[in-house]
Structure formats: C-alpha cells, structure tokens
Amino acid sequence: MWRAECDRSREIVAARASLDATGTNIVTGEPFSLRWLPPHLLAGYARHNGHADLLRERIDGATGL
C-alpha cells in the first residue's frame, strides 16, 4: 500500500508543469506548493525514524555510534 501511495504521488508531481504548482492542505485549507512538500515529508520521515530508533534502543539496549 505504501509503495502504491509513493507511485501515485510521483504521478501527481510528474503531471504538474512546475514545482510551483499548488495544492490545498486538507486539514487547514491553506495552499502549499510542490516545492514546499518534499523537505517537509523528509523531515517527517526522519523524525519518525528517530522515534523508532529510540524505541528499539529501549528494547534491546544497543545504541549507535
């Protein structure tokens, strides 16, 4: 399901003439550009991966360097 969502997102971006194309935030109703979206998604992934790493460290006690 995740891969299908990624593929659909790529299709949507590819169909736009520019990263300056806008969409609407479904929560706030505010507009945003495609240029804004990738760094914010990346930050979200990084944040959640960090959370998962903290949980794993609590479970197995191993820490990274």
Q: What DSSP letter does each residue of 18-57 carry, written as one string?
A: -TT-EEE-TTT--EEETTTHHHHHHHHHHHHHHHHHHHHH
Where are the chain's structural domains? 2-60
pLDDT digits (tens, 9 = 90+) for 9-47: 889 889 999 999 998 989 999 999 999 888 888 888 787
| Confidence at residue 65, expressed as pLDDT on a 0 to 100 scale | 57
Section 52-60 average pLDDT: 81
Q: Specify which residues 22 forms β-bridges with.
A: 33
Section 55-62 average pLDDT: 81
| Confidence at residue 11, expressed as pLDDT on a 0 to 100 scale | 93
Do 41 and 48 form a contact (C-beta atoms < 8 A)?
A: no
Residue 6 has pLDDT above 90, yes or no: no
